[in-house]
Structure 1
Amino acid sequence: MADIEELQRRLTAAIDRIGKGVERLDAASEPPEDPVDIEDLQARLGASEAALEEERIAGQQREERIKTLHAKLEDAQATMKARMDAQSEATAQVDLELQRLRKANEQLRANNKALREANKAGLADPHLINTGMIAELEALNAARSAETAEAEAIAAAFKQLLPDDSPREDA
C-alpha cells in the first residue's frame, strides 16, 4: 500500500507539473495586450498603405506622362522628317531648274555669238540679232530669278532650323 500511495503522490506531482507547463505555454502564446501599441501600429500600417497607394498612383501618372511625351516626340520626329524630305525635294527641284537654265543660257550665248559673227560677215539679219539679244537678256533675268528662288529656299530651310526666340527683323 505504501507503494500505491507513493505512486499516487508521484502521479499527482507529475500532473501538476504538466498543468503548470501548459499554463506557461498558453501565457507565452498570447500576445501582450497593450492597446496603445496595437492602435499605434494599426494607424502606422494604415498610413503606410495610404502612402504606398499614393506612390502607385503617382507612378502610374508618371508612366502615362512618359508615354505621352514619347508619342509627342515620335510625332515631332515624323513632322521634322517630312519637312526635311520636302525641303530636300524642293532644293533638288531648284537645282534641276538651275542646271537647265544655265545650259539654255550657254546655248543662247553661243547662238548669239554665232549670229554676231555671221552679221560681221554680212550674212545675218540685224532683226534676228536683236531678237536673240532680247532672248539672251530674258534668259539672264530668268537665271537671276532662279538664283533668287534658290536663296529664298535656303533661307526658308534655315528659318525652320532656328529656334523661335531668334531676333526678328521687324522688331
Structure 2
Amino acid sequence: MSQIDELQARITAALDRITKGLDGREAAGDPAEMVKLRQDIEDEKLANAQLEERVRTLRERLEAREAELEAARSAQSDSLRKLDADLQSLRKANQQLRDNNQALREAHQAGVAEPHLINKSMLAELEGLRAARAADRDEVEAVLTELGQVIAEAGDDTATKTEDA
C-alpha cells in the first residue's frame, strides 16, 4: 500500500510540474508539443485514477477481511466461554456424584439402606452425564467452527489467486 501511495504522490507531483510548465510555455509553445504534453497529462491522470481505484478496492477488501476476522474471534470467544461453563458444570456434577457415592458407601457399611441416597446418587449421575454430553457437544461445535473457517480461508485463497492471475 505504501508503494501505491508513493507512486500516487509522484504522479501528482509530475502532473503539477507539467501543468506549471504548460502555463509558462503556452504563449510561445509549439502546438504539436502542447498536444503531446496535454496527452501526457491525460495519460497520467488516467493512470492516477486507476491507481486510486485499486487502492480503494484493496482497502475495501482489507476492511472486509478485518471484519470477518473480528466476527470469527468473537464467535470463537463465545464458544470457548460456553465450553468452559459446561466443563465447570461437569466438574460440579462429578463432585456431587463422588460425594453421594461416598455417602452410599458409608450407609452400606453401617448396614442402613437409604433410598433417598440412592435417588440422590442417580440424579447426580444423570446430571453428570448431561454435563458431559453438553461439554462434548460444545467441543464438537468448536471443532466444526474452526474447520469451517479453515475451509472458507482455503476457498478465499483460491479465489484470490484466481483474481490475481
Shared fold per TM-score greater than 0.5: yes
Q: Separation in 1 of the partners of 2:116 and 2:88?
A: 29
Give the letter aligned to residue 31 of structure 2. Q
- Structure 1: gaps (5+ residues): 1-40, 167-171
- Structure 2: gaps (5+ residues): 1-29, 157-165
Q: Separation in 2 of the partners of 1:92 and 1:85?
A: 11
The alpha carbon displacement at 1:160 in A equals 1.2
CA RMSD of aligned residues (A): 2.7
Instruction: Say if 2:73 is the partner of 1:81.
Output: no
Verify the 8 A CA contact 1:98 1:146 in the aligned structure 2: yes
Give the letter aligned to residue 101 of structure 2. N
Structure in which a larger fraction of residues adopt helix: 2
The alpha carbon displacement at 1:164 in A equals 4.2
The alpha carbon displacement at 1:91 in A equals 0.7
Q: Separation in 2 of the partners of 1:127 and 1:92?
A: 35
* Match for residue 43 of structure 1 among 7, 16, 32: 32
Aligned length: 126
Scaled by the length of structure 2, the TM-score of the pair is: 0.61
Q: Hey, what does 1:21 align to over in structure 2?
A: none
Query: What percentage of aligned pairs have identical amino acids?
Result: 45
Between structure 1 and structure 2, the one with the greater Rg is 1
The alpha carbon displacement at 1:55 in A equals 2.2
* Match for residue 151 of structure 1 among 117, 121, 140: 140
Give the letter aligned to residue 80 of structure 2. T
The alpha carbon displacement at 1:70 in A equals 0.9
Instruction: Say if 2:150 is the partner of 1:161.
Output: yes
Farther-moved stretch of structure 1 (86-95 vs 45-54): 45-54
Q: Hey, what does 2:43 align to over in structure 1?
A: 54
1:122 aligns to what SS in structure 2? coil
Verify the 8 A CA contact 1:98 1:147 in the aligned structure 2: no
| 1:113-151 deviation per Cα after TM superposition (whole angstroms, max 9, x unaligned) | 312331342223246415523541442243133223223
The alpha carbon displacement at 1:50 in A equals 1.5
Distance 1:161-1:146 versus aligned 2 partners, 3 A rule: same
* Match for residue 60 of structure 2 among 49, 71, 75: 71
Q: Hey, what does 1:36 align to over in structure 2?
A: none
Q: Hey, what does 1:114 align to over in structure 2?
A: 103
Verify the 8 A CA contact 1:119 1:126 in the aligned structure 2: no
Give the letter aligned to residue 56 of structure 1. K
Scaled by the length of structure 1, the TM-score of the pair is: 0.59
Verify the 8 A CA contact 1:105 1:139 in the aligned structure 2: yes
